[in-house]
């Protein structure tokens, strides 16, 4: 059984007795730089005070994220982003109780920028560091609160469908720091399948939002693609990507304009099959565990069809479903701050020699 101890051993996390986390409304600065978005956020307790993000448009012309360009952009953006987050939160650096930062997984160069900045800031203002697993952040983002809103949060235990460009997992969450992976992809992530479809259809980067938009105008039952037959709760998406590739190759032999003439239906059909695969395993997980508190998180959870399908299944099957706000589906520092809050309250800080972990392959490693 996977649990939080695995991740702590991997990250060499320590408990530092020099700092007390007993204060009720701790102020946490979160820093996120795992891929191509530079973000900083401030929370007081579980309430969000600010969440600032700088995106990188430079990658569009290359059809994907270029690691070296991403790290350079992080270097340019991180100071103004952090400064703006502090300003918007209406605090000073002296008010901060701890600095949470993404230690992994992600692009090593990008992680190095965020990690190095967090360390430098920690030294300069004499505040402790809290390292955060990026994937835990996506799951725990459901506990962020915004003043004046109905802040629904899942009850423990709950099931989290974690879907992103690099990860696809079903996770049982028994407490803020207790996770168990029930199922995971054995090859590609669902986000990679969306990216492959977008590339084959020449939709540009990022392709996921374009597929989502075009699918709304298409017939989801027009085409069918090969679905995997994987035992248990694990996923596989390499086969359906290959199925799409061969399907388009064969159709283009007969009609060179096939993609252009059927783009909406291709997107709708491929998207439906991907969501069917995701929900089939999630439904099984609910039946096996008896847990009917269900959340989704990660970049792919921004997909409108997936969000609607989760809600519909919840109504049909008596689940309590929790769908994140769109701004919390992408990589953001608010989710890093809330995760750091729970870790800090539990007594976790990390030393200055802590290094980024680019290939923390799963939630608990």
pLDDT in the model for residue 153: 96
Considering the domain 4-152+328-349 in this protein, what is its CATH number?
A: 3.30.420.40
Q: Is the peptide bond before 120 cis (omega within 30 degrees of 0)?
A: no
pLDDT at residue 13 tops 80: no
pLDDT at residue 173 tops 50: yes
pLDDT in the model for residue 9: 37
How far is residue 96 CA from its own chain's centroid? 25
Q: Over the chain, what is the mean pLDDT?
A: 89
Q: Do domains 4-152+328-349 and 158-326 have the same CATH topology?
A: yes
Q: Which residues contact 351 (CB under 8 A, 6 or more apart)?
A: 12, 14, 129
Q: What percentage of the chain carries pLDDT values higher than 70?
A: 88
pLDDT at residue 1 tops 50: no
Q: Which residues contact 190 (CB under 8 A, 6 or more apart)?
A: 163, 168, 235, 237, 274, 277, 278, 300
pLDDT in the model for residue 14: 43
CB 186, CB 238: distance < 8 Å: no
Q: Is the peptide bond before 91 cis (omega within 30 degrees of 0)?
A: no
pLDDT in the model for residue 279: 98
CB 107, CB 71: distance < 8 Å: yes
Fold of 158-326: Nucleotidyltransferase; domain 5 (3.30.420)
pLDDT tens for 26-39 read 999 999 998 778 99
pLDDT in the model for residue 16: 43
pLDDT band at 18 (very low <50, low <70, confident <90, very high): very low
Q: How far apart are CA 339 and CA 38, in angstroms?
A: 17
Angle between helices 304-317 and 208-215 (to 10 degrees): 60
Interval 81-90 mean pLDDT: 96
Q: How far apart are CA 86 and CA 45, in angstroms?
A: 16
Q: In what order do the strands lie in the sheet with 158-163?
A: 178-184, 168-175, 158-163, 293-297, 320-322
Among 236, 240, 228, residue whose Cα is nearest residue 266: 240
Angle between helices 258-289 and 190-200 (to 10 degrees): 170
Range name among 12-21, 140-149, 284-293, 329-338 with the lowest pLDDT average: 12-21
Q: How far apart are CA 106 and CA 329, in angstroms?
A: 16
Interval 232-255 mean pLDDT: 97
Overall pTM surpassing 0.85 (yes/no): yes
pLDDT at residue 10 tops 50: no
CB 44, CB 25: distance < 8 Å: yes
Interval 102-115 mean pLDDT: 92
pLDDT band at 353 (very low <50, low <70, confident <90, very high): very high
Question: Domain residue spans in the chain?
Answer: 4-152+328-349, 158-326
pLDDT band at 141 (very low <50, low <70, confident <90, very high): very high
Structure-token pair, residue 211: 């597929």
Q: Which residues contact 24 (CB under 8 A, 6 or more apart)?
A: 45
Interval 297-311 mean pLDDT: 96
pLDDT tens for 182-241 read 999 999 999 999 999 999 999 987 889 999 999 999 999 999 999 999 999 999 999 999
Torsion angle of alpha carbons 201, 206, 212, 214, nearest 10°? -40
Interval 238-248 mean pLDDT: 97
Q: What percentage of the chain carries pLDDT values higher than 90?
A: 78
């Amino acid at each position: 059984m996977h649990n939080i101890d695995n991740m702590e051993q991997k990250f060499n996390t320590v408990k530092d007795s020099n700092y007390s986390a007993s204060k009720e409304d701790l102020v946490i600065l979160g820093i996120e730089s795992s891929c191509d978005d530079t973000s900083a956020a401030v929370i007081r307790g579980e309430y969000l005070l600010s969440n600032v993000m700088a995106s990188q448009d430079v990658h569009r012309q290359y059809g994907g994220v270029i690691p070296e360009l991403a790290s350079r952009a992080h270097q340019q953006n991180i100071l103004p982003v952090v400064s703006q987050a502090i300003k918007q939160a209406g605090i000073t650096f002296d008010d901060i109780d701890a600095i949470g930062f993404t230690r992994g997984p992600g692009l090593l160069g990008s992680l190095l920028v965020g990690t190095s900045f967090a360390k430098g800031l920690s030294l300069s203002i004499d505040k402790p560091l809290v390292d955060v697993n990026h994937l835990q952040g996506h799951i725990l983002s459901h506990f962020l609160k915004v003043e004046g809103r109905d802040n629904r949060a899942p009850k423990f235990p709950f099931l989290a469908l974690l879907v992103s460009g690099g990860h696809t997992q079903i996770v049982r969450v028994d407490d803020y720091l207790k996770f168990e992976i029930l199922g995971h992809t054995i090859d590609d992530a669902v986000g990679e399948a969306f990216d492959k479809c977008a590339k084959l259809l020449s939709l540009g980067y990022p392709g996921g939002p374009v597929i989502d938009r075009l699918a709304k105008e298409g017939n989801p039952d027009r085409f069918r693609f090969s679905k995997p037959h994987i035992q248990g709760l694990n996923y596989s998406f390499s086969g359906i990507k290959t199925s799409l590739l061969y399907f388009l190759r064969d159709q283009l032999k007969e009609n060179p304009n096939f993609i252009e003439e059927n783009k909406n239906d291709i997107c709708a059909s491929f998207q439906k099959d991907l969501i069917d695969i995701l929900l089939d395993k999630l439904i099984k997980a609910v039946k096996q565990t008896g847990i009917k508190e269900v959340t989704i998180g990660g970049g792919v959870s921004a997909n409108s069809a997936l969000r609607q399908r989760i809600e519909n299944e919840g109504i049909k099957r008596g689940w309590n479903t929790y769908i994140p706000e769109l701004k919390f589906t992408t990589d953001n520092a608010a989710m890093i701050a809330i995760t750091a809050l729970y870790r800090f309250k539990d007594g976790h800080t990390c030393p200055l020699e802590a290094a980024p972990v680019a290939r923390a392959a799963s939630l608990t490693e």
